[in-house]
Amino acid sequence: MRVLETIAALREYRKSLKESVGFVPTMGALHRGHQSLIERSLKENSHTIVSVFVNPTQFGANEDFSAYPRPLEKDLALCEKLGVNAVFLPKIGEMYPYEAKQRLKLHAPTFLSRSLEGAMRKGHFDGVVQIVLRLFHLVNPTRAYFGKKDAQQLLIIQHLVQDLLLDIEITPCEIMRDDDNLALSSRNVYLNATERKQALAIPKALENIQQAIDKGEKACEKLKKLGLEILKNLEVDYLECCNHKLEPLKTIEPTNTLVLVAARVGKTRLLDNLWV
């Protein structure tokens, strides 16, 4: 497995690849969710490149950039075990050669980024667009793999690729869960045992909403009320029913509905969702 720490090294390596290239961009702290993305890329492509870069531009002033877990040796060992061909491991100065005032301003599409996570984390998706577009430009993948857990991010990246006419296939991958049904997240390590049990209300709320939909309930307000009752002991940032343009819905639209939830358990903020 190649470990590439500079853009020059990545470009030289990329020029040598003549067949399909799968790309899995990550911020490290790899778990089974990331592993599922990597395994799918390995299955569908001749070469797989994983990037590990904790991107400062997608963190707000009061967020956990400095505390974000960075178990690099463990991440590299997992990538090697899985059979990844190369890991791109750049420093901040490599990815952002200019200071913020001199940097080209890139913005996520407003209609997808102004609500939900975009409203809670101002500028977050602009930072996501900044780094993803730079990585796409450098890696030039055939396919790139993103988890459905970060649904709003996925929709923004799909729109980015279509709007800028990029020849990259965005492959959405299913949410991976632990045995207790909590969606896998690098931030789960922040939860103590008590908080972990409390966090299980999140997948439980979504499970009950899905069951109600299966029984014929289509009214979004009733579904949200059902979910919020289960989440009553958590600090809920939002629980919303939206279409794939992230427009609020009054009634469920089959194959075009997302139920999205963000809630805080202790100091940890967790996301989960349901693709209906």
Residues of each annotated binding site for (R)-pantoate? 58, 153
Residue 15 CA to its chain's centroid (Å): 28
Amino acid identity at 183: A
Nearest to 217 by CA among 247, 254, 189: 254
Q: Which of 34, 47, 124, 159 is catalytic?
A: 34
Q: Measuring CA to CA, how many Å separate 87 from each of 27, 168, 199, 220?
A: 12, 19, 33, 43
CB contact set of 38 (below 8 Å; sequence gap of 6+) = 24, 48, 50, 79, 82, 84, 145
**H helix intervals, the chain:** 7-15, 32-44, 72-82, 92-95, 110-113, 117-120, 124-139, 151-163, 193-199, 201-214, 220-230
Query: Residues marked as binding for beta-alanine?
Result: 58
Mark whether 34 is an active-site residue: yes
Rounded to whole angstroms, how far apart are CA atoms 273 and 276? 10
Which residues are annotated as part of the binding site for ATP? Answer: 27-34, 147-150, 184-187
In the chain, the amino acid numbered 134 is R
Active site residues: 34
